[in-house]
Each structure stands twice: as structure tokens, then as C-alpha cells.
Amino acid sequence: MKALTSILLRGAIPVLASLFLTAGAQSQTLSGIRIGEEVSAASRVAGKPVAKVPAGPHEEIRFKLPDGNRLAVATDMDSRRIVYAEEKWGGHPHGRPADFPGFTYGETTLADIRAHADNSGFAFSERLIDDRPDGLRLFNAYEVEGAPGLVVTFVTKMSRKDANRLKSKKEQVDINRSARLESIILADAGYLDSIWGEQKLKGKAYKPIRWGSPQERASLELVPGQ
């Protein structure tokens, strides 16, 4: 019986590996939208746009999703292909689950993101922070493992109160715990270079992030030694 189980598991490994790779290729989307597909796919998934804004050789199209979250996509005007997609949490409880497996809007901290990726990612020199009246936003970007030219950026937000405490230097503020996930950006690397600049800050421990799916993780748990 033990030998039979071993044989069955060995036979299952190639199948599970195939499922792992296939699911991974399908999971790198935001609200079902994939970078590089035709812009018409956005309307099929997200419905009627609420706004369209020209941006040089690109056009930004904005949607309001049924769960209260907001989606913005940028398309190349010539090819009509999507080069940028951003989903932003609308603040509603039912909009908390993020497309990145295991992450939750308003709950996942910058520390959680760094722990999952096993590094801090990289930053565009021209897009390090965004200081607004309602709080301070931080941008941590990663190349997506197994998907050349694809970059995911996690935007975390510190409250105005914590941001002011950080600026005053009178109180210690743990940025890693204070900053919580507000939005996720999935984009073509070349497009990000064109809007945020090519200069990047990248630590020695940097490596791409793996974007899997809950199904992949469950499958891998069945394989001994993984």
C-alpha cells in the first residue's frame, strides 16, 4: 500500500506542476483584466466606464466596480492594448479581498508584503511617495516571476495622523505596520518607465515576486517535500 501511494504521488507531480504553471499564467490579472489584451476586455469585465481621460499617446479609462472598488486602465492609443491597470479599494468591507492571493485591502501591511516577497521590492525614483491630505502613500514594485516585462506595484497608505507623527519625529512610527494596502497596480514595465522614469532604487536582496493562486498553493501542499 505504501509503495502504491508513492507511485501515485510520483505520477501526480508532473500533473500538479502543469497545473501550477497554467494557473500561474492565468492568475496575474486585476479584476479579470490582463495586461496586453485589447481594451474592449475591460468593458466586458467592468461594465460601462465612468470617465475617459487622454494622456499623451495613451488613454485612461476609469470604472466603478460592483463591490465599490475603482478600476483604472491605460491603453496604447495605436494598438488599443491595455498597458496599465490599477484597482483601488473603495473602503467597503465586501471590497477588501485583493486579486493578489492572501492580500486584503485595508488590512495587509507593508510588513506583510515584504515578508511574502522576502524582500522590499524596488522603487521608481520619481514615484517613491505620494503625500496627500488624507495620508501618505508608498509604492513598492516587483517584477513578476515568470512573466517578463510585467510589474506589480503595491500601494500602501499611512493615515494622516501617522504621517504627521512621522514627520514631527516626536513619536516613533513603524512604517511597516502603519502602511496598509490601498491599491494594486499591474503594468507593462516599459509603460511605467515612460510615466515614472527609468531610474530605480533596488536593494541587494531584491528578487521578483511570485504571483500564484490559492489553488496552486493547495496543489503544492499535496506534493511531499514541498
DSSP 145: T
Residue 16: its pLDDT value, please? 32
Taking alpha carbons only, the member of 149, 186, 181 closest to residue 73 is: 186
Per-residue confidence in pLDDT tens, the chain, 226 aa: 444 334 333 443 333 333 333 333 446 899 899 999 998 888 888 888 899 888 777 889 999 999 999 999 999 888 889 999 999 999 999 999 999 999 999 999 999 999 999 999 999 999 999 999 999 999 999 999 999 999 999 999 999 999 998 888 777 889 999 999 999 999 999 999 999 999 999 988 999 999 976 555 444 334 444 4
Residue 8: its pLDDT value, please? 33
Backbone angles phi, psi at 139, to 5 degrees: -120, 115
Residue 149: strand, helix, or coil: coil
Q: For the residues of 75-133, what is the DSSP string, one character each?
A: EETTT-BEEEEEEE--S-GGG-B-SSTT-BTTT-BHHHHHHHHTS--EEETT-SEEEET
- Dihedral of alpha carbons 102, 105, 106, 111, sign: positive
Residue 214: its pLDDT value, please? 52
Residue 42: its pLDDT value, please? 84
Report the alpha-carbon angle 191-128-190, nearest 5: 10
Q: Identify the bridge partners of residue 213 per DSSP, sorted by sequence position.
A: none
Taking alpha carbons only, the member of 132, 189, 188 closest to residue 155 is: 132
Residue 151: its pLDDT value, please? 97
Tens-digit pLDDT profile for residues 35-45: 999 988 888 88
**Which element (helix H / strand E) includes 55?**
strand 51-55
CA distances from 175 to 110, 178, 180 (A): 8, 5, 9
